[in-house]
Amino acid sequence: QPVAVEVLDRLEQLALVDFRDTEGVERLRKAIQFADQLHEVNTDGVEPMDSVLEDRCLYLREDDVTEGNCANELLKNARKKVEEYFVAPPGNIPLPTLEERETFLQGS
């Protein structure tokens, strides 16, 4: 089943993935085919849930900081980063360079 060009454009913007090559379109087609299985489930009379654990009380622990100041060490694990942030998902559309971003920001 073909995917509308507008949908491809929007998905590319959201996912930073170029779906216009054969591999990308095939991956997207398989994902849609997999998700279409949900239409086979009869959900008549079933109320939507806020959470799969809505019948339980969730207990939260105190958020006590025991370590810190390790951002540089953690960023060593990044496959790709921009400034002090991980870039996820990596996608297959290249991110603009620092110079390109500065040029773009100056023009706005």
pTM of the shown model: 0.39
* C-alpha to C-alpha distance for 86 and 83, rounded to whole angstroms: 8
pLDDT, average across residues 21-28: 79
pLDDT: which is higher, 80 or 34: 34
pLDDT of 79: 82
pLDDT digits (tens, 9 = 90+) for 39-90: 898 989 988 887 778 788 878 888 888 888 898 899 998 888 888 888 876 5
Q: Is the pLDDT of residue 28 over 70?
A: yes
Please give the Cα distance from 73 to 70 (Å, whole number). Answer: 5
Q: Hey, what long-range contacts does 22-25 have (CB within 8 A, 24 or more apart)? A: 24/92
Task: Please tell me the distance from the alpha carbon of residue 18 to that of residue 93, in angstroms, as a whole number.
Answer: 6
Which is more confident, 24 or 72?
72
Q: Are 74 and 2 in contact (CB under 8 A)?
A: no
Cα distance between residue 85 and residue 18, in whole Å:
22
* Mean pLDDT over each residue of the chain, to the nearest integer: 80
